[in-house]
Each structure stands twice: as C-alpha cells, then as structure tokens.
C-alpha cells in the first residue's frame, strides 16, 4: 500500500484515463470517511468545526495544500461545516492526485 500523504501530485492536462474502479477502491481504503459519488467520478468528505473561525482556518489550510500540489478541490463552506470534493476535471473522473490531496487534508485533523 502506498503512502499517499508523502506523494506529490503530477500535472494532469487530460489525455490519460481516470482510475479504474479497482484502483479507486484501493485508494479509498487509505482515506478516512471519504465517500465515492454514485457515478464514481468524485470523492467527498464533510468536516465539522466549533465555529466560523475554525472552519475558515481549515479552508485556508486546504487552500494552501491545493496551491502546493496545484490540484484544487471544490469546497462548500458554511458557518461550522466544510464539504470537500475532489475529482480531476481534465479526465472527468478520479486520478491519484485526488487521493493524494484528500490524504493531505486528512492530516490536517490528525
């Protein structure tokens, strides 16, 4: 099993296939509480915080990871919740980059 949190994202401009269902399931097992969308094209996780300040601190930390890895999630932010969604738009599905970033986001709360 690879250690996703220690890997780096590689640029993806398309031209490669998304991960297979088997590869997605293998990578998903390395994450905590992430859910696969019904169509299999996205992974998501909900994070809950005590207040707006903690939520925004988390959002800023996720933004820092996204900048470092050059791989950006979709975020849904409210007062005490943030839902993070990863997929690779260039391949209309999931790549290892999505799992690398999700693993790094998990480490924020470890």
Task: Concatenate the DSSP letters of all residues of 24-78 into one string.
Answer: HHHHHTTSSS-EE-TTSS-EEEEEE-SSHHHHHHHHHHHHHHHHHHT---EEEE-
Is a pLDDT exceeding 60 seen at residue 96? yes
Mean pLDDT of 75-86: 98
Mean pLDDT of 51-69: 98
**pLDDT > 70 fraction of the chain, expressed in percent and rounded:** 98
List the structure tokens of 2: 């690879």
List the structure tokens of 52: 């707006």
**pLDDT > 90 fraction of the chain, expressed in percent and rounded:** 83
User: What was the pLDDT predicted at 1?
Assistant: 42
CA–CA gap between residue 34 and residue 101 (Å, rounded): 12
Q: Which pLDDT tens digit goes with each residue over 10-46?
A: 877 777 899 999 999 999 999 999 999 999 999 999 9
2: confidence class by pLDDT, cuts 50, 70, 90: low
List the structure tokens of 6: 């220690």
Domains and their CATH numbers in the chain: 35-110 (3.30.1360.20)
């Amino acid at each position: 099993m690879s250690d996703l949190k220690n890997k780096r994202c590689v640029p993806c401009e398309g031209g490669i296939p998304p991960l297979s269902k088997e590869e997605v399931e293998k990578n998903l097992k390395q994450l905590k509480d992430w859910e696969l969308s019904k169509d299999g094209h996205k992974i998501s996780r909900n994070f809950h915080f005590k207040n707006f300040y903690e939520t925004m601190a988390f959002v800023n930390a996720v933004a820092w990871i996204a900048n470092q890895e050059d791989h950006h999630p979709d975020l849904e932010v409210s007062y005490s919740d943030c839902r993070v969604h990863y997929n690779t738009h260039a391949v209309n599905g999931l790549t290892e980059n999505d799992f690398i970033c999700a693993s790094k986001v998990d480490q924020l709360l470890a």
